[in-house]
Each structure stands twice: as structure tokens, then as C-alpha cells.
Amino acid sequence: MTSQDPVIKKIDQMAQRMRKKALELAFSAGNNGAHIGSGLSIIEITAVLYGGVMKVDPQNPRWADRDRFILSKGHGTLGYYTALSEAGLISFDELSSFEKNGGFLPGQPVMNMDKGIEFSSGSLGHGLSLGVGVALAGKKRGRDYKVYVLMGDGECNEGTVWEAAMAAKHYKLSNLVAIIDANDLQSDGSRQDIMAADYEAIWKGFGWNVETIDGHNTQTLYETLVKVNSTEYPRVIIAKTVKGKGISFMEGNNEWHHNRLTKNQYDAALSELST
């Protein structure tokens, strides 16, 4: 899936490094385990955002006009911290403190503006409301930043997502972009078995601009995310992904929702990425 487009090529290389780093961090977490499946499913999304779409300045993480990213599905840290590291907001040394006692990079994010982490998250269903508030503030202050909120498809079981969806449309938050990591799996199994819902129809019903795309195709992700929103309503991108993407024995296998990696598994996973 390598592209001739230099921007996309750069993003693809970044995603490849992030995937390796995510596995390294998961392995280093030992018996604490990590949310590996979900971390891997969002990697192309965060790589495209931090590698080509979002305005961020690692020298000035509080830059008033920066784009804001909210990891509402807080358990996606492996795909988040690695992107922040690639963007120059977290150093490699700091990254190695992942899931270390008392460290600032636990399994779910802790607000840390020095490191570009806008909010603490982990409890599902909170991020979109936060995003509505931040987007509302942007409109009110006349700033042109965009607000990206990454949620899980399972997360959309939460009622607060829909309270926020209603408000975002009501307040015409065209500066707000929700991205659904639609990997079709949640903690207890298939989303279709647990709480089947036609998200495309529901988001449309809430008045959002809805696009469903391949969440691992960096070219498509990039072209979709850089598009100018010419409407006055928010956008939601349903990114079809594969949980555990990139590692054959993890793909679509919910045992890797949260798990620990043995040395053999780690080596096997890495060998797949180097081929």
C-alpha cells in the first residue's frame, strides 16, 4: 500500500514505525498488558492526523491556533502516544515510561499540555461533549482551529455520544470532526452481536455529514481529512478498520483487546512488520 505521493509515503513510513513502537511498548508493559488490538486499529488514523493533517507545533504545544485532538477512546494510547512521539511532542525516552508506575503515560491518557495531551480520557462517551465545548469556544473566539475526536464504534453505545451529537449539529460546529474507529469489535465481542446499529444512518439522522471510508488506507484518510467542510454542520468519518491491524494473529481476534505479549509473540509480530 505504498504511495508515490511523498506526503502519503511519509505517513506510511510513520505508521510503520508507530506500529513497531506500539508493539515494543506493549511488550514492555509486561503483565500489566495493554490495549493492543485497538491501538493497532487506529494507527493509520493518528498517523494521518499527526503526520499530515493537523496543525501542531511541538515547540509550542499550547499554540492557540493548533488543531485539537481528543482521544475519546482512551484505551487507544498505543496508537496515540506513538503519534505524539512522531510529532515531536513526546521523546523516545519518555515513551519508554509507558505503563510504568507513577509515570505520565499510563494505559489511558492523562491531560498534559506540555506533551500535547488535551484531555484525560478512558471513560467512554466523554470525548465528543468535550469536543463540542472546544469547538464552540473556537467559533466564539473566531479561531480557525479544527477539533478531531476519535471514538470507538463500541463507544457509540454510550448515550452521551448522542447528547453531544445533537448539540454539535444544533450549534453548527463545522469545525468539529468525529472519527469512528469502526473495527466492529468491542470488549465482549462483535458489535453486531452486542448492540447492532446502523451508525451511518444514525449519524445522518443527527444531521451530520457522514463519510464511510477505509480506515487503513492512508491516501483515502488523508484526502478525506484535509477536505474543506463547506457545510455548516459537523463531519463524522466512519473509518472501517481491523482490530489488531498488521499482525496476522491479532487481526480480528478479540483476545487482543487487552492482553500481554510474550517474547515469542512479540518476535513473531515484529517479524511480520519487517517483511
- Residues of this chain that interact with another protein (CB under 8 A) are 111, 118-120, 123, 126, 128-138, 140-141, 159-160, 163-164, 166-167, 170-171
Residue (of 190, 242, 266, 221) closest to 47 by Cα position = 221
Q: Which is nearer to another protein, 36 or 117 (CB)?
A: 117
3-state secondary structure of 122: coil
Q: Which helix (H) or strand (E) holds 192?
A: helix 191-195
The single-letter DSSP state of residue 173 is -
β 185-186/189-190 pair status: antiparallel
DSSP state, residue 73: S
CB of 14 to another protein, least distance (A): 28
Of 171 and 266, the one with the shorter C-beta distance to another protein is: 171
- Considering the complex, what minimum distance in angstroms separates the CB of residue 5 from another protein? 34
The nearer residue to another protein, 60 or 264, going by C-beta atoms, is 60
Nearer to another protein, 136 or 238 (CB): 136
CB of 185 to another protein, least distance (A): 24
- The length of the chain is 275
Minimum distance from residue 131 beta carbon to another protein (Å): 7
Q: b/e per residue, 221-260, with b = 16+ CB within 10 A?
A: bbebbeeeeeeebbbbbbbbbbbbbbbeebbbebebbbbe
Query: Which one, 121 or 183, has the nearer CB to another protein?
Result: 121
- Compute the least distance from the CB of residue 178 to another protein, in Å: 14
How far, in Å, CA of 62 to CA of 54, rounded?
A: 14
Residue 140 or 263 with smaller CB distance to another protein: 140
Q: Which is nearer to another protein, 44 or 158 (CB)?
A: 158
Amino acid identity of residue 164, one-letter, is: A
CB of 133 to another protein, least distance (A): 2
- Please report, for residues 23, 159, 165, 199, 258, the alpha-carbon distance to residue 243 in angstroms, rounded to integers and kept in the order given: 14, 23, 25, 18, 11
Please give the DSSP secondary-structure letter assigned to residue 186: E
Query: What's the gap between Cα 275 and its chain centre?
Result: 25
Q: Write down the least CB distance from residue 160 to another protein, Å.
A: 5
